[in-house]
Amino acid sequence: MHPMCETTTETTVLRVSVCRLPGHEDVPLPDYQSDHAAGMDIHAAVSQPLLIAPGQRVLVPTGFIMAVPVGYEAQIRPRSGLAYKHGLSMPNAPGTIDADYRGEVKVLMVNLGSEPVTITRGMRIAQMLIKPVPRVTWDEVDQLPPTQRGEGGFGHTGQH
């Protein structure tokens, strides 16, 4: 077998401090739905059903706060099933939670579908990945090294 095609069972574990907010002990913390899922599902901590009309944007509470480790970010992304079945998405996808944010995690959702959608307590509404982010320093230069692509952008490779 080619070395690049071998599978491994090694995984990296990152410990992240999390607190449930009072009154939300019944709402699950973000959790993986399968052994090899990349993202953890995030659950809604709404106090009553929340109706999202077509075209409407809402902030959905999750009932937890966390301390993302320095050098990482939490990326909040739409769930594909909700997007496909109901048109629920996130206008800022992926949303970013910085390492110095300590407020409640909330998910900005938008209904892009044609029918109202109801969010209920404990419903899986989004997914979260914790990803490393490098710090960038700029090296200001007089010109950039050339590439074959050059300045082509926004659909330039689709033209025949």
Q: Does 155 reside within a domain?
A: no
Of the chain, the end-to-end C-alpha distance in Å amounts to: 39
Confidence of residue 4 (pLDDT cuts 50, 70, 90): low
Domain extent for 106: 26-132
Q: Does 5 reside within a domain?
A: no
Residue of higher predicted confidence among 144 and 11: 144
% of the chain exceeding 70 in pLDDT: 91
Q: Does 69 reside within a domain?
A: yes
CA distance 47 to 45: 6
CA distance 80 to 153: 27
Tell me how many domains the chain contains.
1
Q: What is the mean pLDDT of the chain?
A: 93
CATH of the domain at 102: 2.70.40.10
Instruction: Say if strands 72-78 and 95-97 run parallel, antiparallel, or are unpaired.
Output: antiparallel
What secondary structure letter does DSSP report for 3?
Answer: G
CA distance 52 to 58: 7
Q: Residue range 54-81: average pLDDT?
A: 97
Confidence of residue 150 (pLDDT cuts 50, 70, 90): confident
What secondary structure letter does DSSP report for 115?
Answer: S
55: left (phi over 0), alpha (psi -120 to 50) or beta: left
Q: Does 141 reside within a domain?
A: no
Q: Does 74 reside within a domain?
A: yes
- Specify the DSSP element, H or E, that contains 86: helix 80-86
Residue where the block lists tokens 């990803």: 131
Q: Residue range 14-20: average pLDDT?
A: 97
CA distance 150 to 135: 26
Confidence of residue 100 (pLDDT cuts 50, 70, 90): very high
Which candidate, 124, 117, 122, 36, places its Cα nearest to that of 77? Answer: 124
Q: Does 84 reside within a domain?
A: yes
Q: Does 15 reside within a domain?
A: no
Confidence of residue 149 (pLDDT cuts 50, 70, 90): confident
Answer whether 125's CB lies under 8 Å from 81's CB: no
Q: Does 126 reside within a domain?
A: yes
CA distance 160 to 155: 11
